[in-house]
Structure 1
Amino acid sequence: MIDRRAMLKAGLGAAGILAIPAVFAQPGTSRTRIVFLGTKGGPRVGIGASNPANLVVVNDTPYLIDCGMGVSRQLVAAGVPIPSVKYIFISHHHSDHNLEYGNVVYNAWAAGLSTPIHSFGPKGIEAMTRTFWELNKFDVETRIADEGRPDPRPLLIAKDIDADGVVLKTSDVTVTAFRTPHPPITDNFAYKFETPDGTIVFSSDTAYNPKLAEFAKGADVLVHECLYVPAVDRLVLKTKNGATLKKHLMDSHTSTEDVGRIAASAGVKTLVLSHFVPGDDPTVTDDDWTRDVKKNYSGRVILAKDLMELKLPV
């Protein structure tokens, strides 16, 4: 078990980067793993894959990346106590990435949260945090008085990201944000996690962006979103706003063939496909997702599935 009290000593360094002491796992245990909590792209909720969310765990400290609908339940299903989450990173303010942001913190509080959670995201995350607590003011203050719970509002410490660069540095992990286009959204960040066991990059939702390959250069694992064009064509045929939706999807996501180009250019050791667009077409096979990727990338390719774990080093 780790000593969570050590996390209370958090403070901001001279450069404005959050610097927090490391908490170490027992010798001989696997230090770094990725848990794919939700792998379906888009805001629709179905009975299949859950909406976007990922987890990096280093020395038993969980770092949550995005908070799509269902993330609280997925954490529980993965055997990760919700109050153990100490850091949240939001890539952008599409609802499938931030809809359960406040609620996952509330659910941590309901399960006994008593230590801080630091959250990072594009401009607006600080305002969203204040608004969430205002929305739930009656419930929170009632439970503080009626149930003797600590006030959760000071425990969620949000920070807007307004530029590329390091946003968090501990003795174990350095997290760097990188702006990548997701039209029409410009405040959209990929994240790089440099850990003792290797480097992990999460692409965020992104249009094809060769500069992302530079950001991910030499990474051990690149988790990249993907779009399968034939399935998009089928999707828009049964959608009232089909033409508009197709333009958005094609302009703001990366085709499987282009994902292969990014992975090859970056020279990553392992490519993980996730945030599947569309993510709920049962006729799309695993081979469909990987076929065009392999035209350009000859390395290891993994298709993420909900609750799949990947341990580093891979």
Structure 2
Amino acid sequence: MTDRLTLLGTKGGPAIRPGGPNPTSMLLDLSGRRIVIDCGLGVSRGLAETGMSLKELDLIFITHLHSDHVLELGPLIHTAWTTGLDHAVTVHGPEGTRAVWAGFLASLVYDIEIRIADEGRPDLAELVTVVEYGPGEIFRDGDLLVEALRVDHPPVTDCFALKFSGTGHTIVFSADTAPFPPLVDFARGADILVHEAMLPEGLESIVRRTGNGARLREHLVASHSFAADAAQIAMQAGVGMLVLNHLIPADDPAFSEDHWRAAVAPHWSGPLVIGCDGLAIAL
């Protein structure tokens, strides 16, 4: 298995629009493990389109419980189960993740029970273990190490940047966050920093199309980072590559890759990737 990062869903926010990208999800192949990071709408199809059989599902990490990061957690696992999943899957998520999974099982109890009885499938509930985590080391297996850093994403308290280290590579995911200086040390020397990003000139477009006016604008500015902020974190941390992800806006034809590159250019001159759904990055 080649170590690589595949961006499955690169849009910030839960809304989906015709021709636009999907909300947040990623696949990290590292140290012989297939690791899903966040489960926004489209994650199941996105994984299948990488060529992965969903019955290979192994490890899932959720950064926080906003819907654009967790809405397809249950459906992904259930779809993997109907594809032939018969081994344990572990979900690592912040406090509240167990309740999300329990609620999904309750909502599909009729389907799950009838498939167990009629199709001879294993008990789905018994295949899945949910581990709720906080800051610090949250997973270690062989040379694979995963660490979490609580970031600044009000009003969500339990939102975590994640750092994956293995086979000589380090990949850091900012999760959703306002500009957060502690990310510099957390990402120090990483091969790749995947950081959320907004375009200042795109905010009015988002507000106009989504609604909620001043309240939505206030949330975006208080809880997220502009592309220039991500670039400064990457520069200060000395990372090998900056990947802009969770893009706001991501589905407005008025804004192109050139806008993102121009926003980053004053602060970052290293390798830069502007996220798009289905993009694979070799490690």
Query: TM-score, normalised on structure 1?
Result: 0.87
Q: Which of 235, 239, 247 in structure 1 is aligned with 2:218?
A: 247
| Partner amino acid, structure 2, of 1:292 | A
Q: Which amino acid aligns with 2:43?
A: V
Structure 1 residues 238, 95: closer, same or farther in 2, change over 3 A? closer
Cα drift, residue 234 of structure 1: 2.6
Match in the other structure for 2:281: 310
- Aligned pair count? 282
Contact 2:31 2:166 in 1 (8 A): no
Aligned residue type for 1:271:
L
Q: Percent identity?
A: 41
Distance, in Å, in 2 between the alignment partners of 1:284 and 1:196 is 37
Q: Is the 8 A contact 1:61 1:85 kept in 2?
A: no
**What is the 5 A alignment of 1:106-117?**
106-117=78-89
Displacement after TM superposition at 1:108 (Å): 0.5
Change (3 A) 1:239 1:50: closer
* 1:262 CA drift (Å): 0.5
Q: For residues 197 and 311 of structure 1, do their structure 2 counterparts lie closer, same or farther at Cα, with a shift above 3 Å needed?
A: farther
- What code does the residue aligned with 1:170 have? D
Residue matched to 1:285: 256
Give the superposition deviation at 1:292.
2.1
Cα distance per residue 1:26-84 (max 9 Å; x no partner): xxxx3x11010001111012232111101101254210000000110111111111121
1:214 corresponds, among 179, 185, 188, to: 185
- CA drift at 1:238: 4.4
Determine the C-alpha separation between the residues in 2 that align with 1:108 and 1:239: 32
User: Structure 2: any 5+ residue segments left out of the alignment?
Assistant: none
Match of 2:103? 131
Verify the 8 A CA contact 1:42 1:278 in the aligned structure 2. no
Describe the shift of the 1:112–1:213 C-alpha distance in structure 2 as closer, same or farther (beyond 3 A): same
> How far apart, in 1, do the equivalents of 2:143 and 2:59 lie?
13
1:294 pairs, out of 255, 265, 268, with 265
Matched, 1:191 2:168: no
Which of 132, 137, 162 is residue 160 of structure 1 equivalent to?
A: 132
* 2:122 equivalent in structure 1: 150
SS of 2:39's partner is coil
1:234 paired residue number: 205
- Is 1:65 aligned with 2:37? yes
In structure 2, the residue matched to 1:263 is 234
- Counterpart for residue 27 of structure 2: 55
Can you list the C-alpha shifts for 1:262-304, whole angstroms capped at 9, x where unaligned? 1111110100011101211111111111212121122111112
In the aligned structure 1, how far is the partner of 2:98 from the partner of 2:136? 19
CA RMSD of aligned residues (A): 1.2
1:71-118 CA-to-partner distances (Å, cap 9, x unmatched) read 101111111111212111111110000000011000000000000110
| Residue among 232, 236, 245 paired with 1:274 | 245
Structural mapping, 1:98-109, within 5 Å = 98-109=70-81
Q: Which residue of structure 1 aligns with residue 195 of structure 2?
A: 224
Q: Is the 8 A contact 2:86 2:127 kept in 1?
A: yes
8 Å CA contact 1:61–1:84 kept in 2: the answer is: no
